[in-house]
Structure 1
Amino acid sequence: MPELTEHQVVVNGVRLHYVAAGPRDGPPAVLLHGFPEFWRAWERQIGPLARAGFRVVVPDLRGYNLSEKPPGVAAYRVGRLQADVAALIHALGYGRAHVVGHDWGGIIAWALAVRQPEVVDRLVILNAPHPAAVRRVFRKPAQWFRSWYIFFFQLPWLPERFLRRFGRWALRGTNPAAYTEEDRRLYEEAWAQPGAATGMINYYRALFRFRREGQDPLVRVPTLVLWGERDVALLPELASGLERWVPDVRVIRFPRASHWIMRDEPVRVNNLLMEFLST
């Protein structure tokens, strides 16, 4: 990675930690991590994007690592998470930015593009379902079976203990070099931050406890979807038929990549990111 600078900023009533790299006058690209990661999820993308001239901004989402961890499940509703990102873009002095999201970061990025498209220049989604596709595909028993952990996360305290003790085993890609032992150690340190385990799992608890506000799911910004087809949690068909809700979309599938697509095939992912965000 290139030289990183670390920052703290209060946005939408919450203090977020983020790292930044690349020229300050470059086009901004905000990278949003998923569960159970933090900003280092993008360590193989930050350098290439920064060297290509982008101002790369990578926050720890609320509840994660060094960002603030507000109490209560309601603090982790999708609307609040999406508002964090919009407020971050504005706090950094930008009217709009490229937004790239994986897993929960992708869910937040979809929500941002639906609700506040004026702040999104181009959208890139990695293995995160569009909200309308969720309603369609999650009716299928095969997807419910893959999503068993969501129900487990509704329990009190037990999921937190499970995450701290066994979370490292979730970080396994199809590429043997996807996660090193040092990577796993750093993730365990992030999960051990006071309140982090509960904050992270509250994302899933909020999904069950709060119904999403009615919203037209149409995404009106240019969108690239990258999908690892060996995802053990999400069916590949979640990336199908998106043209109904995302008129300007390109979907590229990675037959040999897992859920951790940017770790399994970083070179191809990076090339596609730079090509798409530069046009």
Structure 2
Amino acid sequence: MDTARVPAMTDQSSIEQLTVTTEAGAFDAIASGPAEGRPVLLLHGFPEAALEWEHQVATLGGHGYRAVAPDQRGYSPSVRPENVADYGVDVLVGDVLAVADALGWRRFDLVGHDWGAAVGWWAAAEHPDRLRSFTAVSTPHPSALARAIRSDEDQAMRSAYLTEWRQSSTEQRMLANNAEALRRMFEWKVPLSRVEDYVLRLSEPGALSAALNWYRAGRPRAEAGKVAVPTLYIWSTEDVAFGSTAAFDTENWVSGPYAFHMLEDVTHWIPEEVPEALSALLLEHLAAR
């Protein structure tokens, strides 16, 4: 695809700051585009925030979509419960629907990166009536990932951090020496100013614990099922967390229209490392639905 054909509509002045009020609390969010535009909800990952979608939100808004990216549970200060059980997959999927309901969206396009994509896979599998389409960035289908961890030594090694991050000492280790470990995660592929923003947010009292509680909440009660909604999966070859076994197996977990796009020589941080390319892929996918 010729990404040069996509206009560079990334004027930050088009970004709005929103508060989306639900029964769980008030989610901070960024948004762009006309109120009557086709709705697109974008879910961030760890250890980031809605800001990771700034380029995509502005681009989608500039093309007439109504794009909203919330700071998810634990990242929005007003939705930061202390109980680990309050970060289970069912609760996180419930937040997606609650935010959409608060925005008045009966059906919407869903986009997710990292943990946001994992939640998106579950939402797409369990609530296909609510989604017009789904785009997963980096993270494969949860069942494909689980199978790869069991059968593929490479993926098992890549996923070893999951056990480590559930330990109670993780917060101290990540924030030690001016959050050196947290900063290294971004592999120098995310703009420094953005990294500083993420570190500042996660240095707030209780913020990093809340983000890590997504990992500590335990496994879902059941295996994620097949996804019937039109799905685009974008994976990058230099992703340290997700190898090719789970990436290539993901198509077996989508029963509806499916497209797979592989980005060569790109790391895990796709939305910020190659923002123009990702925005172009999103526009192409949405235009076809």
- Interval containing the TM-score (normalised by the shorter chain): over 0.9
Q: Which residue of 2 aligns with 1:251?
A: 260
Residue aligned with 1:276, SS: helix
Alpha carbons of structure 1 residues 231 and 87: separation in structure 2 relative to 1, 3 Å: same
Within the candidate set 238, 245, 258, 1:237 is matched to: 245
Within the candidate set 262, 265, 275, 2:274 is matched to: 265
Give, in angstroms, the shift of residue 65 of structure 1. Answer: 4.7
Gaps of 5+ in 2: 1-11
Task: State the alpha-carbon separation in 1 of the partners of residues 49 and 81 from structure 2.
Answer: 17
| TM-score, scaled to structure 2 | 0.89
Within the candidate set 216, 225, 228, 2:233 is matched to: 225
Residue aligned with 2:14, SS: coil
Count of aligned pairs between the two proteins: 271
Task: State the alpha-carbon separation in 2 of the partners of residues 5 and 154 from structure 1.
Answer: 35
**1:84-121 deviations in Å (ceiling 9; x for gaps):** 00111111011011100000000000010011111111
Gaps of 5+ in 1: none
Give, in angstroms, the shift of residue 45 of structure 1. Answer: 1.2
The answer to whether the Cα contact below 8 Å between 2:137 and 2:235 also exists between their aligned partners in 1 is yes
| TM-score, scaled to structure 1 | 0.92
The letter of the residue matching 1:227 is: W
Give, in angstroms, the shift of residue 43 of structure 1. Answer: 1.6
Q: Which residue of 2 aligns with 1:159?
A: 170
Give, in angstroms, the shift of residue 76 of structure 1. Answer: 0.5
The answer to whether the Cα contact below 8 Å between 2:110 and 2:120 also exists between their aligned partners in 1 is yes
Task: State the alpha-carbon separation in 2 of the partners of residues 10 and 229 from structure 1.
Answer: 38
1:104-253 superposed matches below 5 A: 104-139=115-150, 140-156=152-168, 158-164=169-175, 165=179, 166-172=181-187, 178-207=189-218, 211-214=219-222, 217-247=225-255, 248-253=257-262
**1:101-150 deviations in Å (ceiling 9; x for gaps):** 00000000001001111111110000112121022101122222112221
**Farther-moved stretch of structure 1 (261-270 vs 211-220):** 211-220
**1:163-211 deviations in Å (ceiling 9; x for gaps):** 33221111126xxxx422211211111112221100000111113xxx4
Give, in angstroms, the shift of residue 267 of structure 1. Answer: 1.7
Find out whether 1:62 has 2:61 as its counterpart: no
**Farther-moved stretch of structure 1 (250-259 vs 263-272):** 263-272
Structure 1 segments of 4+ aligned residues over 3 angstroms from their partners: none
RMSD, aligned CA: 1.6
The answer to whether the Cα contact below 8 Å between 2:140 and 2:250 also exists between their aligned partners in 1 is no
The answer to whether the Cα contact below 8 Å between 2:50 and 2:69 also exists between their aligned partners in 1 is yes
Task: State the alpha-carbon separation in 2 of the partners of residues 216 and 45 from structure 1.
Answer: 27
